Structure 1
């Protein structure tokens, strides 16, 4: 009888936050772990290098979090932005896990900074990493390697061997790598222009909207394994291929890896017009961290997939400045000309908006009573006439962070085939985020999902490598003790 030879116990495919959490957890569970990162070492970490924080539930002030952000409020925030397109069981599991993960993260080198103040409104809800996502990624790689995780760079996986829902091996540059279990954490398909084109198709104007999308993160998320799993292995899927974490960013941003500094954060303090110089959505609907991620899709639906954020000097100093300066003018007419917008239409839009403003007590840190009347779309909060020179305009494009089409899971993080969970193939991060994020986004929740499911997937991959069944639910705070109990 021939005994199958394995190159490793747990194979982790991907190199960002979710993959690293999985690799570390699997190694802590006693497994030999090999992590394959498709990017070169200098570009390792995928989109995680561009992150800054994770959203955390807490019932009272905790270390770097002020006041309280209870489970129900977190859930309602998520429910609102997703419009109900979320799995409540999995979402609440992520929410609860977010309250306990920081101790584990610190143990693996992540340093959190003191609470932020100012206009971001997130000191209560989000824990920020000192040095941002790149520092987090580097800390995890150091910890993983110190624990004995083997890491290979420039190692893109192009196909998997799966038999009857059981993972057998992965192929990298013609080489077969066999493992007892596997975690898929290789990201979405946002960097694959042809797939984006296919998903979005043509609009009523005959345009391919995807041709004008910019990618906020890595160029390496081509969706190769996601498509392979969906089309070749017929894994159960979740999500709409047109839904994504999509932000309005500076139209001058690079095609890839522009990151957070290209985001335009003055939308709620002014108005946004399209190429036809007309407003198209309520700029003051809610606090910016709860609404910034809807604006990429809104701009994507406009002619030529472009918009223009217009502010006056009263807004300066009340938002995080982007990396590129805005177009500046001393009059609104001059600003329209410099932005190449139709001047009469632009002036009509601005005059109607200014006349509709009902200014009460302006407070950009609260849902104030400054609103419009008699103009469509309305502006619900922070509505003040744009009348104080100099004036500024920022051209906006859709900036895709990650896509929501992915693999369907349960609370074991197992990949499912015909609604049956695999015994040894798990998924985490962007490849399964659509289970929680059917649409929309709220700041930091992607890292919450990746951290929770990365740890779950890693724990269960280690158990599978030992021939043991997967454990259900989130990982306990005391990881080592939890692994002993699970074993």
Structure 2
């Protein structure tokens, strides 16, 4: 028997394992993926959203708690637990020294990420380097790691964790942490959640999965069946509009299209359906997957002209290019008359002021529905480019309801020795929407707390200074 069993292999799981081991607990981490694919969705991340009251190493200016909170409140539409959200925000301001101690390195943001240079700390080498650093540190500290070890079922005694089963093997532990992600790779569950639309389509059949294929929600489903308290909507997710040519799994961040705010987005009927210039892209990019999912055929088309080139992170695939708008419509398979009429109406509605893609400028439309609030420049300069878009699911928000202790709850009663961290409980903070880097903030904060609490439940006193005063 080990002291602490961690189920999962991404950022939250690793933070939990490291914290528990630092407290003196023996730790076994079970990763469902093979070693080459370890790390879950964390291997695809780039940065961590961080509160700071003054410039700090790679972070410029200041990003105080209240601004972070207002950003989160806006993107979630109020669907967030303020106490838990503020716990994450405060923890984000103190976690980087601990991360560095375990080998994580940071770098200044690149020119293509200027909007988050103040708010987000970027990982040197990206998420894969972060995951590898944590695994190296875990090995050095004596954390046992097993790959290709998916937990098939849990054994509980009421609210108390007893054992986990991997195939026919029964693994007991004094306490456990569930950090096994959402259910985004479970196509049947996605179909059940989204159902059929008015056109008789099953929208989930057209979703691509930006991250790992191993997040199938097995433990989440079993805990739900055992009566664990849940939170969130099964259709809500970190869902991004990505290149329709992306692979089914593990396309990662390079499949994202970042030119949406600089042009127009049309559905397959060549009509606009949302304000492309509503806010800075890092605050709004994660609504566009859901918007596209609600369109016929779950497909959209991002249209820009030559003026936008060089003002966004270059996509991994070249767009369709044409010297005229009718030609672009034909190449994209869109009805030419409606396409040109949509663009003409937009061009006529543009009220161009001082264009500046680095701020909320005064270039907007008048008399157009939906409006374009910022960065509204006419599409009139060839060549023109078009990118087909599909919904790309990163992680789902339906999850386990927790409090600041991260204990899994059953009928309102907290488990004495089963804790949850990361995407499997992120819905407590993210009821909808997303802002860049906050998933890593959630996973890091709750992963560290869960590991310390699990060590305590196994009889080891944790010296993590953040658990008692942040999570009280």
Tell me, yes or no, whether TM beats 0.5.
yes
Q: What is the alpha-carbon distance in structure 2 between the residues aligned to residue 70 and residue 273 of structure 1?
A: 37
Aligned to 2:159: 165
Selected match of 1:461 from 448, 451, 454: 454
> CA separation of 1:467/1:144 partners in 2, compared to 1, >3 Å: closer, same or farther?
closer
Q: Does residue 365 in structure 1 map to residue 358 in structure 2?
A: yes
1:204 Cα deviation from its structure 2 partner: 1.2
Q: What is the alpha-carbon distance in structure 2 between the residues aligned to residue 116 and residue 58 of structure 1?
A: 20
| Greater alpha carbon shift after TM alignment, 146-155 vs 464-473 | 464-473
Selected match of 1:216 from 210, 216, 221: 210
Q: What is the alpha-carbon distance in structure 1 between the residues aligned to residue 323 and residue 100 of structure 2?
A: 50
Q: What is the alpha-carbon distance in structure 1 between the residues aligned to residue 252 and residue 236 of structure 2?
A: 19
Is the 1:335–1:391 contact (alpha carbons within 8 Å) kept by the matching residues of 2? yes
Secondary structure, aligned partner of 1:157? coil
Aligned to 1:426: 419
Selected match of 1:182 from 176, 182, 202: 176
Selected match of 2:406 from 413, 418, 423: 413
1:114 Cα deviation from its structure 2 partner: 2.2
| Greater alpha carbon shift after TM alignment, 369-378 vs 111-120 | 111-120
**What runs of 5+ residues in structure 2 fail to find an aligned partner?**
none
Q: Does residue 52 in structure 1 map to residue 40 in structure 2?
A: no
Aligned to 2:9: 15
Is the 2:321–2:385 contact (alpha carbons within 8 Å) kept by the matching residues of 1? yes
Q: What is the alpha-carbon distance in structure 2 between the residues aligned to residue 147 and residue 239 of structure 1?
A: 36
> CA separation of 1:244/1:334 partners in 2, compared to 1, >3 Å: closer, same or farther?
same
Question: Pairwise CA RMSD of aligned residues?
Answer: 1.6
Aligned to 1:82: 76
Q: After TM superposition, what 4+ stretches of structure 1 lie above 2 angstroms from structure 2?
A: 114-120, 467-477
Write the deviation string for residues 44-84 of structure 1: whole angstroms up to 9, x where unpaired.
Answer: 00000000001000000011100000000000000000000
Write the deviation string for residues 238-275 of structure 1: whole angstroms up to 9, x where unpaired.
Answer: 10000000000000000000000000000000000000
Q: Does residue 263 in structure 1 map to residue 241 in structure 2?
A: no
1:474 Cα deviation from its structure 2 partner: 4.0
Q: What is the alpha-carbon distance in structure 2 between the residues aligned to residue 300 and residue 429 of structure 1?
A: 25
Q: What is the alpha-carbon distance in structure 2 between the residues aligned to residue 266 and residue 234 of structure 1?
A: 44
Q: What is the alpha-carbon distance in structure 1 between the residues aligned to residue 111 and residue 214 of structure 2?
A: 34
Is the 1:456–1:475 contact (alpha carbons within 8 Å) kept by the matching residues of 2? no
Secondary structure, aligned partner of 1:121? helix
Is the 2:266–2:272 contact (alpha carbons within 8 Å) kept by the matching residues of 1? yes
> CA separation of 1:145/1:54 partners in 2, compared to 1, >3 Å: closer, same or farther?
same
Q: What is the alpha-carbon distance in structure 1 between the residues aligned to residue 466 and residue 22 of structure 2?
A: 18
> CA separation of 1:320/1:244 partners in 2, compared to 1, >3 Å: closer, same or farther?
same
Q: How does 1:69-108 map to 2 (within 5 A)?
A: 69-108=63-102
Q: What is the alpha-carbon distance in structure 1 between the residues aligned to residue 364 and residue 353 of structure 2?
A: 8
Is the 2:40–2:212 contact (alpha carbons within 8 Å) kept by the matching residues of 1? yes
Aligned to 1:286: 279
Is the 2:153–2:222 contact (alpha carbons within 8 Å) kept by the matching residues of 1? yes
Aligned to 2:428: 435
Selected match of 2:146 from 142, 147, 152: 152
Q: What is the alpha-carbon distance in structure 1 between the residues aligned to residue 445 and residue 321 of structure 2?
A: 44
Write the deviation string for residues 415-444 of structure 1: whole angstroms up to 9, x where unpaired.
Answer: 000101111000000000000000000000
Q: How does 1:180-259 map to 2 (within 5 A)?
A: 180-231=174-225, 233-259=226-252
1:354 Cα deviation from its structure 2 partner: 0.4
1:108 Cα deviation from its structure 2 partner: 0.1
Q: What is the alpha-carbon distance in structure 2 between the residues aligned to residue 469 and residue 440 of structure 1?
A: 34
1:475 Cα deviation from its structure 2 partner: 6.8
1:374 Cα deviation from its structure 2 partner: 1.1
**What runs of 5+ residues in structure 1 fail to find an aligned partner?**
1-6, 478-485
Q: Does residue 64 in structure 1 map to residue 47 in structure 2?
A: no
Aligned to 1:275: 268
Q: What is the alpha-carbon distance in structure 1 between the residues aligned to residue 104 and residue 162 of structure 2?
A: 34
Secondary structure, aligned partner of 1:11? strand
Taking structure 2 as the reference length, the TM-score comes to: 0.98
Question: How many residues matched?
Answer: 471
1:205 Cα deviation from its structure 2 partner: 1.2
Is the 2:53–2:64 contact (alpha carbons within 8 Å) kept by the matching residues of 1? yes
Q: How does 1:283-322 map to 2 (within 5 A)?
A: 283-322=276-315
Q: What is the alpha-carbon distance in structure 1 between the residues aligned to residue 76 and residue 295 of structure 2?
A: 21
Write the deviation string for residues 288-326 of structure 1: whole angstroms up to 9, x where unpaired.
Answer: 000000000000000000000000000000000110000
Secondary structure, aligned partner of 2:152? strand
Aligned to 2:103: 109
1:120 Cα deviation from its structure 2 partner: 3.6
Selected match of 2:381 from 376, 385, 388: 388
Is the 1:55–1:445 contact (alpha carbons within 8 Å) kept by the matching residues of 2? yes
Aligned to 1:481: none
1:473 Cα deviation from its structure 2 partner: 6.5
Is the 1:415–1:426 contact (alpha carbons within 8 Å) kept by the matching residues of 2? yes
1:173 Cα deviation from its structure 2 partner: 1.4
> CA separation of 1:301/1:48 partners in 2, compared to 1, >3 Å: closer, same or farther?
same
Is the 1:463–1:470 contact (alpha carbons within 8 Å) kept by the matching residues of 2? no
